[in-house]
């Protein structure tokens, strides 16, 4: 009996050694489950060729992405070496000690001037303006629009629109035009004007509405004093919210649940004339396999401007090193490799949205997809939500209240006052008003 025992023991030992050995050679990068993660997996093959180090892009489904990363950090898990996380996470994960501070390393190894400045601020810097860096921009994204060219260019539609509104039917450049075009194409039950973000999930409606609020003159508050009342609930924000609420009349019946997946699905199903989405998801609109009916009838435009400005919600993520990683040096080597110009060129060609200034402005990038020009044009107008450690609480309050307005269970004024009160309560509890 005893003589037979050594076999399984040896097997387990060998298996254990193999696991340890494999872990030592593979860099694990956590990202959301979407096409850019596939592009990065493809791109990383070049890194493996150069260094012999395997890279695994671990794709986490969007609904559980933030939760899985947060819980891993709370448990000090070393499952991931690099996390490609949302810009809003920066405050929480840097203050919480979950991200490795990269200020000195970036100073010595990265040409910061080659990276688009606002992207560096949004995805890497915390606190803002401090020149303290915790990440490198990986995928820079923005909200944009896809529209049905066959409808917009139809002479009969153009004439009918001009007769009704007194100006030419073109892609909307202002929010008033967006409203008019949305109304014009609303012909239930088969066609509606617009699909935009109204969802209560994660940051859905906030990412859709905040750019309207900023463009109407509203804001989240004073970033220096953290005072909110009089900013988020001022008349401009109120007008913006009432405007945004009106858009739901020109959207399909299930629109209160719409975020990026649903707006894209509605567009592909031919239910809407225009749909907002992050540019990174728009390959789905031009892929004949995914969008057989309208892939060749799709045009793209940047988010419109408002009466008091032009702002667009930033999307995308930055690449940070987990403090609990045992392969931090390899992670740094990978990030140094990733940000090089030739790699960024290939990243852009694969479909990634590069933060590299020169690549971003190159013809190669601008012509790589039908929507890259609209994406590049959006860059000067990008703005972000709070990126402080309390962002999740602030976001939750916005999500709940703004969604309540669009479904009609709260008035715009009531919702904005609630948000102002709760945001100041959160700042007070977190000690932002302490002397």
Partner 1 sequence: MRSEGLPKGLNDYQIKMMFITPTMILLVLMNIFPLLWSLYLSFHRYKASLPTRPAKFIGLRNYSRLLSDPEVWEYFQTTAYFVVLAVLIQFIIGFGLALLLNREFAYKGMITTLILLPMMLSPVVVGLFWRFIFASDNSGLVNYFLSPVLNTLNMQPIGWTTNPKMAMIAVVIVDTWMWSPFMMLISLAGLSAIPKYLYEAADVDRASTWFKFRWITLPLVSPLLLIALLFRTMDAFKMFDIVYVLTREGGPGTATETVSMNLYKLAFRNFNTGKACAMAYILLIIIVALSNIYVKYLNQVKGEA
Burial group, residue 292, by CB count within 10 angstroms (0-12, 13-18, 19+): exposed
Q: What angle do CA 303, 288, 248 make, to 5 degrees?
A: 35
Quote the least distance from Cβ 131 to partner 1, whole Å. Answer: 21
Q: 3-state SS string over 318-362?
A: EEEEECCCCCHHHHHHHHHHHCCHHHHHHHHHHCCCCCEHHHHHC
Give the span between the Cα atoms of 11 and 47, in whole angstroms: 33
In the complex with partner 1, the residue whose CB is nearer, 368 or 430, is 430
* Residue 305: strand pairing partners: 174
Q: Minimum distance from CB of 428 to partner 1 (Å)?
A: 10
Cβ proximity to partner 1, 119 vs 405, nearer residue: 405
Nearer to partner 1, 96 or 127 (CB): 96
Instruction: Encode 63-85: b = buried (16+ Cβ within 10 Å), e = exposed.
Output: eebbebbbebbeeeeeebbbbbb
| Residue 409 CB, nearest approach to partner 1 (Å) | 4
- Which residues would be at the binding site for partner 1 (CB under 8 A)? 66-67, 70-71, 73-74, 92, 95-98, 188-189, 199-201, 252-257, 271, 389, 392-393, 396, 400-401, 403-405, 407-410, 418, 425, 429-430
Rounded Cα distance, 264 and 146, in Å? 9
d(CA 42, CA 29): 13
Minimum CB distance to partner 1 smaller for 73 or for 278: 73
* 112 vs 407, beta carbon nearer partner 1: 407
Q: Which residue has the tokens 């803002």?
A: 128
Tokens found for residue 175: 């929010």
Task: State the nearest-atom distance from the C-beta of 195 to partner 1, in Å.
Answer: 12
- Shortest distance (Å) from residue 432 CB to partner 1: 13
**Nearest-approach distance from CB 293 to partner 1, in angstroms:** 16
Q: Whose Cβ is closer to partner 1: residue 199's or residue 362's? A: 199
Q: Least CB distance from residue 363 to partner 1, whole Å?
A: 42
Nearer to partner 1, 97 or 107 (CB): 97
Q: Which is nearer to partner 1, 139 or 203 (CB)?
A: 203
Residue 91 CB, shortest distance to partner 1, in Å, is: 10
CB of 402 to partner 1, least distance (A): 9
Q: List the structure tokens of 118.
A: 């606002």
Alpha-carbon dihedral sign for residues 396, 398, 404, 410 = positive
Question: In the complex, what is the shortest distance from the CB of residue 264 to partner 1, in angstroms, rounded to a whole number?
Answer: 15
- CA–CA distances in Å: residue 258 to residues 248, 265, 271, 401: 11, 10, 13, 16
Closer CB to partner 1, 43 or 83, in the complex: 83
Name the residue nearer to partner 1 (CB basis): 286 or 405.
405
């Amino acid at each position: 009996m005893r003589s037979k025992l050594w076999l399984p023991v040896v097997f387990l030992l060998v298996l254990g050694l193999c696991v340890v050995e494999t872990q030592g050679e593979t860099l694990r990068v956590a990202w959301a489950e979407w096409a850019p993660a596939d592009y990065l997996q493809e791109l990383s093959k070049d890194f493996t060729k150069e260094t012999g180090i395997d890279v695994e892009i671990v794709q986490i489904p969007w609904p559980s992405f933030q939760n899985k990363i947060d819980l891993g950090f709370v448990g000090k898990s070393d499952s991931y070496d690099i996390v490609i996380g949302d810009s809003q996470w920066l405050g929480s994960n840097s203050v919480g000690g979950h991200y490795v501070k990269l200020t000195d390393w970036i100073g010595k190894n990265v040409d910061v001037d080659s990276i688009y400045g606002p992207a560096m601020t949004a995805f890497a810097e915390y606190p803002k303006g401090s020149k303290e860096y915790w990440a490198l921009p990986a995928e820079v994204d923005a909200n944009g629009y896809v529209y049905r060219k066959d409808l917009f260019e139809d002479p009969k539609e153009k004439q009918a629109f001009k007769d009704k509104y007194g100006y030419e039917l073109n892609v909307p450049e202002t929010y008033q035009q967006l409203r008019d075009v949305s109304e014009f194409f609303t012909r239930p039950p088969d066609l509606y004007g617009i699909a935009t973000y109204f969802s209560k999930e994660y940051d859905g409606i906030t990412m859709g509405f905040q750019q309207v609020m900023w463009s109407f003159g509203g804001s989240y508050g004073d970033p220096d004093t953290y005072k909110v009342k009089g900013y988020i609930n001022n008349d401009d924000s109120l007008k913006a919210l009432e405007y945004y609420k009106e858009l739901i009349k020109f959207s399909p019946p299930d629109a209160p649940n719409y975020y990026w997946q649903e707006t894209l699905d509605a567009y592909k199903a031919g239910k809407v004339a225009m749909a907002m989405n992050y540019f990174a998801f728009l390959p789905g609109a031009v892929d004949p396999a995914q969008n057989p009916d309208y892939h060749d009838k799709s045009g793209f435009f940047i988010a419109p401007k408002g009466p008091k400005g032009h702002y667009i919600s930033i999307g995308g993520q930055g690449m940070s090193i987990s403090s609990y990683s045992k392969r931090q040096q390899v992670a740094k080597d990978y990030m140094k490799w990733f940000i090089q110009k030739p790699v960024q060129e290939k990243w852009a060609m694969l479909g990634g949205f590069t933060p590299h200034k020169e690549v971003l402005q190159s013809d190669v990038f601008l012509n790589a997809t039908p929507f890259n020009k609209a994406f590049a044009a959006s860059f000067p107008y990008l703005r972000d939500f709070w990126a402080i450690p309390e962002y999740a609480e602030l976001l939750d309050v916005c999500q709940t209240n703004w969604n309540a307005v669009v479904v009609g269970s709260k008035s715009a004024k009531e919702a904005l006052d609630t948000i102002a009160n709760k945001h100041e309560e959160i700042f007070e509890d977190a000690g932002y008003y302490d002397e």
